[in-house]
Amino acid sequence: MSLSPAVRVARTAAQRSRSLLQAIQFGHPPSCPCHSNPNHHHGPSVFGEARRRLATPIDHSRSKEYAFEMAASSIRFGPGCTKEVGMDLKNLGATRVCVVTDGNVAKLDAMKQVVEGLTKENIEFTVYDKCRVEPKDYSIKDAIAFAKPYNPDAFLAVGGGSVIDTAKLMNLYTTFPEADFLDFVNAPLGKGLPIQGKLKPLVAVPTTAGTGSETTGTAIFDLVDKKAKTGIAHRNLKPTLGICDPINTRTMPSAVHASSGLDVLCHALESWTAIPYYERSPRPANPIQRPAYQGANPISDIFSMKALRSTVKYLPRAAKDADDFEAQSEMLLAATLAGVGFGNAGVHLCHGLSYPISGQNVSYKHPGYQIDSPLIPHGVSVAVTAPAVFKFTGPSNPERHLEAAAAFGKDVSQVKKESAGEVLSEALAEFLVNLGDQPRGLKALGFSEGSLDDLVEGTIPQQRVLMLAPRLSHEVNEEREQIPLLRKTLEVDEKKGLSPEELLSIIPEYEALLVRSETKVTADVLKAAKKLKVVARAGVGVDNVDVPAATKLGIVVVNSPSGNIQAAAEHTIALLMSMARHVPDSSSSVKGGNWERSKFVGVEVKGKVLGIVGLGKVGLIVARMARGLGMTVIASDPYASESVATAANVTLVSSLAELLPQCDFLTIHTPMLASTRGMMSATELNQLKKGARILNVARGGIIDEAALLEALESGHLAGAAIDVFTSEPPAKAEPGSGLAKLIQHPNVVCTPHLGASTIEAQENVSIDVCEQVLQILQGHLPRSAVNAPIILPAEYKTLQPFVRLVEKMGSLYTQHFSQGDRTQDGKRQGLGQQRTTFDLIYEGELAGMSSTKPLFAALIKGLTSPITDTESSSFNVNIVNAEMVAKERGIFVNEQKSRDPVMQAYSSLVTLVARPPSRAPSLSRPTSGHNNKEAAIAGLTATSNKPDRREKQHIISGYCSDTTPFISRLDRFATSFVPDGRLLICHNYDSPGKIGVVGSILGREAVNINFMSVAPASYKGNSISSGEAGPTLGTGAPAAAITGDVRRGDTATTPIPKEAAEALMILGVDREVRGEVVDELIGTGGVLSVSSVVL
């Protein structure tokens, strides 16, 4: 499953802890900085590229590795062989030796034997015994400072991996004393310079069975100020000799046995599952530049699997029984075997994740280690993530993961390939539990959610090993760069390798989902996503998203239709030239040692006719490029603009039948629709001139692949270049099938859907969809919604503030007008009737908009939101499903565009008219075009036939000043207020003292008045003279759920002055006003009604 980053607004600490591994994986955690190399990809191999079936994509534009090398230190293994070390150094010509160890090992028998051996051979030596377990940069520098003045001619390391690594670096920087410390440190944290020249002899005597450092050219340490582990990796760092004496490991405490053994376990598993050497690129120009860590190869596989099986068998025994000498000996041998394996193949995710985990430890002290300072042993930090890591990598090579699971004793004979990672993960988890005293998860190591960012940042710099891990593609690199866009305002989870069931189980928590092409967003997933507002596809096609289901649920589906158009166009031209000049085949021929110039005679494209089917954005760029090559360009596209085509020097023809016979080359650039599926069938292909060539960098299935194969085999077509297939990947095609034959045809150039595969394109689409997600979650209009109308950028900018306004108008109508009447005793006389027939009239600039659907959607949301349960699945009304919700609720909206000029200072006015229920229009959303406003008004006012005041139409008008919405009319009353917050709307007689009376009553109740607007009755009856509109998203529920409260005065007890003018008093208040207070306001006399509105 491809990368499916998801977005949510809040999550629990437990959930964030569980997602940490995915977050670091997304940031490209890979391997140990010192157990790998920066050059990863590899070329085809005689040892079985097809057999591994890796998910890591192959970049065919780069030269692939075709060879591997095996290198390791000389190893002597056997009980008691430590006593030979003096003779070994003498044989190497050493006369002045620096012995490197730590304070604990200095007291052990191994050190005693070393001293005796050197003394016996009369070799001068000095001892440095201040090595730090898990060395830091400052401890390494201290050791170097000790060695430089002594200037030894050889080094002898006695201890564990930390000691041996320290000795390697002492050797390096005394050989090159003028070098800066960061000169050789792995990039990007250091300069990554190669080690030019041999170092002094180094003999390593390991006293632990874990790191295998005696066999490798790596040394690791912490860069403290970067909060990251890094190191130096070069084959010249390898010890000259490794003396592996099982007796030296007998003094290891049980906890050290376990931790060291877990390091061996992960060395073996990671090198076994690393990408193969032939996937690394570019191939070095000179063999001396071939890196030490090259990816898995057939020889490293032997060492890695043997080490894995031995570790599974002997580590539990070695850790639990201090007297089990056989187990201890076998573990030392396993460590050495694993060292040869990973020393050439490399490690990946477990080690990459471990470095920030151990380097950023604050307080954790592992049980069984007699230390004063916090320490997460290296093996523990590696193994804590192993179950999750191998569950993630499982799909890259199920066979290898199942073979590894079998090494743990699992019966895998009936296990399906898709479960390989899960089975290995479970085997590892059981092994760790049975081993005992191993932390379960990062929380057990003392990390909290506040540590996440630093852990991610500590992993990302491990550039040397990023590409050794399977299932990590270049797309993730581009997406990782865009995640900060979302993290600035949202909680972001990045998840890879989710099964459909896992996605279904977690999706209810999320408000946005970002996916690439392989993640299937099904109807079941969408139904389960109770909070989901947007699905974003980082690319063009949305074949993997159930768009109709999303539309029904009001979930916006967005894509990035223009982020990769340049890349697709350039790839089209690249394929065109490759096909014309036989570039792929001729390149393979030369690489095969041949020189067949006459076999690969091509054709020039200058003067040839290029036919383009689909003159959209990609087609136009292809046309311009082709014109630059001197081609004549013709195109068929019923929707293309004649003027745009002319400007690009393209001749438009009326049909395919007219286009095809003229083409020397034909390229397809249409979307996949019902009308374009199989568009290039045998009939169309036969219409092409004999010897023509065809390209498809659009969508698989547009060309009938069986018909294309027949045209090529018959010789009617001279060639085809295909980037997209009906079924992808086509490698799944049955051998001997038509698709398999098409791919293998000598006149076909194939690429694996690379049209958008450029660094720039991946970055562009990632940024585009992330920005759209942010906009949608902030309530703005989408730019590229697949299931919503296209809005031109200029119109989008104009509509945006009105979306909010129109929603407010709809909500104001529902809360203010559709309420029940109450007498002074609070009894309801009858429910206000919710109108279902509305007219929405646009004046001014809005009247010229080509699409006002966002405003329609905003109205439906505003009308329904106040009477809808927020937990309802239909609460998410928006531009996508507004028409569907309106039909379900029987709401009819007639949109009208007035030709009358706006006479006020604002540019646009929107008027909402709620018709009485005497009649209803036949359509839910007819747009009546441009009408004379007076005619529209006449039609509206004529709909009221009954004398009852509630049968009159209700009118609300509004406008926007900059981006701030204002209500300018409520029925007969002219006003100007911002529809926001809690409002009290008092309908009263306009007589002196009313403002003071209302203010004093509210003040007594400690209700603060934020603003007040007095609206006089300025319109005769309920005739229309202006209005306003806006946009947004929402849904509705039964009328009985009406919010807000309206109370009307009892005219039997309230004196009504003759010829009294009426007015509205709109007050913004800071809290809900109690019912008793509303009754008192009405009871003062002259207040006809009070409504409480929340906007």
- In the chain, what are the domain boundaries? 1-13+472-563+758-785, 74-435, 565-750, 793-979+1016-1042
Is beta strand 982-989 parallel, antiparallel or unpaired with respect to 1087-1094?
Answer: antiparallel
State mean pLDDT over 831-860: 83
> What pLDDT, on a 0 to 100 scale, did the predictor assign at position 818?
66
Distance CA 39, CA 468 (A): 9
State mean pLDDT over 892-914: 84
Confidence of residue 748 (pLDDT cuts 50, 70, 90): very high
Distance CA 205, CA 117 (A): 13
> What pLDDT, on a 0 to 100 scale, did the predictor assign at position 1078?
86
User: C-alpha angle with apex 653: 648 to 659, nearest 5 degrees?
Assistant: 105
pTM (predicted TM-score): 0.44
Homologous superfamily assigned to 565-750: NAD(P)-binding Rossmann-like Domain (3.40.50.720)
**Mean pLDDT for all residues in the chain:** 80
Higher pLDDT residue, 641 or 584? 584
Q: What's the chain's Rg over C-alpha atoms?
A: 38
State mean pLDDT over 488-515: 86
pLDDT digits over 616-640, tens only?
A: 889 999 999 999 999 999 999 887 7
Higher pLDDT residue, 868 or 807? 807
CB 470 within 8 Å of CB 54: yes
Token pair for 564: 């990769």
Q: Which residue has the tokens 């507002």?
A: 533
* b/e code 1068-1088 from CB counts within 10 Å (16+ = b): bbeeebeeebbbbbbebebbb
> What pLDDT, on a 0 to 100 scale, did the predictor assign at position 831?
42
- Residue 61 pLDDT > 60: no
Closest CA to 200 of 344, 315, 92, 311: 92
Question: How is residue 841 annotated by DSSP?
Answer: E
Secondary structure of residue 613 in the 3-state scheme: strand
Q: Which residue has the tokens 């990809």?
A: 41
Token pair for 1005: 């109740």
Active centre residues (catalytic): 699, 728, 753
As a whole number of angstroms, the longest Cα–Cα distance in the chain is 127
Distance CA 890, CA 892 (A): 6
Domains 1-13+472-563+758-785 and 565-750 equal at CATH topology level: yes
Q: Which residues 6+ apart lie within 8 Å of 844 measured at CB?
A: 901, 902, 906, 907, 908, 909
Among 83-92, 129-138, 271-280, the minimum mean pLDDT is found in 271-280
Token pair for 363: 């307080």
Neighbours of 708 (CB within 10 A): 23
Which CATH architecture fits 74-435? 3-Layer(aba) Sandwich (3.40)
Helix orientation angle between 583-591 and 565-581, rounded to the nearest 10 degrees: 60
Distance CA 298, CA 409 (A): 23
> What pLDDT, on a 0 to 100 scale, did the predictor assign at position 1035?
29
Distance CA 204, CA 85 (A): 9
Query: HSE on the CB side for 93, CA within 13 Å?
Result: 4
Secondary structure of residue 460 in the 3-state scheme: coil
Q: Tell me whether residue 606 is exposed, middle or buried, using C-beta atoms within 10 angstroms of its C-beta: 0 to 12, 13 to 18, 19 or more.
A: exposed
> What pLDDT, on a 0 to 100 scale, did the predictor assign at position 789?
64
> What pLDDT, on a 0 to 100 scale, did the predictor assign at position 552?
80
State mean pLDDT over 538-555: 84
Secondary structure of residue 1093 in the 3-state scheme: strand
- Residue 233 pLDDT > 90: no
Confidence of residue 393 (pLDDT cuts 50, 70, 90): confident
- Residue 703 pLDDT > 50: yes
pLDDT digits over 22-60, tens only?
A: 333 333 333 333 333 333 333 333 333 333 333 333 333
pLDDT digits over 804-817, tens only?
A: 899 999 999 988 88
Main-chain phi, psi angles of 403, to 5 degrees: -65, -35
Choices 3.40.50.300, 3.30.1330.90, 3.40.50.10090, 3.65.10.10: CATH for 793-979+1016-1042: 3.30.1330.90
> What pLDDT, on a 0 to 100 scale, did the predictor assign at position 447?
85
Distance CA 65, CA 59 (A): 12
Higher pLDDT residue, 307 or 31? 307
Confidence of residue 1032 (pLDDT cuts 50, 70, 90): very low
Q: Which residue has the tokens 């393979």?
A: 588
- Residue 504, H or E segment: helix 500-506
State mean pLDDT over 681-689: 94
Secondary structure of residue 464 in the 3-state scheme: helix
- Residue 289 pLDDT > 80: no
Homologous superfamily assigned to 1-13+472-563+758-785: NAD(P)-binding Rossmann-like Domain (3.40.50.720)
Q: Tell me whether residue 946 is exposed, middle or buried, using C-beta atoms within 10 angstroms of its C-beta: 0 to 12, 13 to 18, 19 or more.
A: exposed
The most confident of 126-130, 225-229, 1055-1059, by mean pLDDT: 126-130
Among 376-390, 930-944, 985-999, the minimum mean pLDDT is found in 930-944
- Percent of the chain at pLDDT > 90 equals 40
Tell me the H-state helices in 69-202. Answer: 85-91, 109-120, 137-150, 161-175
> What pLDDT, on a 0 to 100 scale, did the predictor assign at position 60?
36
Token pair for 418: 């898709």
- Residue 731 pLDDT > 60: yes
> What pLDDT, on a 0 to 100 scale, did the predictor assign at position 917?
64
Distance CA 719, CA 734 (A): 23
Distance CA 991, CA 988 (A): 8
Confidence of residue 951 (pLDDT cuts 50, 70, 90): low
> What pLDDT, on a 0 to 100 scale, did the predictor assign at position 278?
85
> What pLDDT, on a 0 to 100 scale, did the predictor assign at position 414?
86
CA distances from 695 to 329, 622, 666, 708, 717 (A): 63, 12, 6, 11, 11
Distance CA 340, CA 456 (A): 30
- Percent of the chain at pLDDT > 70 equals 80
Distance CA 516, CA 943 (A): 53
According to DSSP, the residues that pair with 898 across neighbouring strands are 931
Distance CA 775, CA 789 (A): 16
Distance CA 1069, CA 1006 (A): 10
Secondary structure of residue 969 in the 3-state scheme: strand
Closest CA to 273 of 56, 19, 438, 442: 56
Token pair for 612: 């383009």
Q: Tell me the residue ranges of DSSP E strands in 802-953.
A: 821-822, 828-830, 837-844, 892-898, 908-914, 927-931
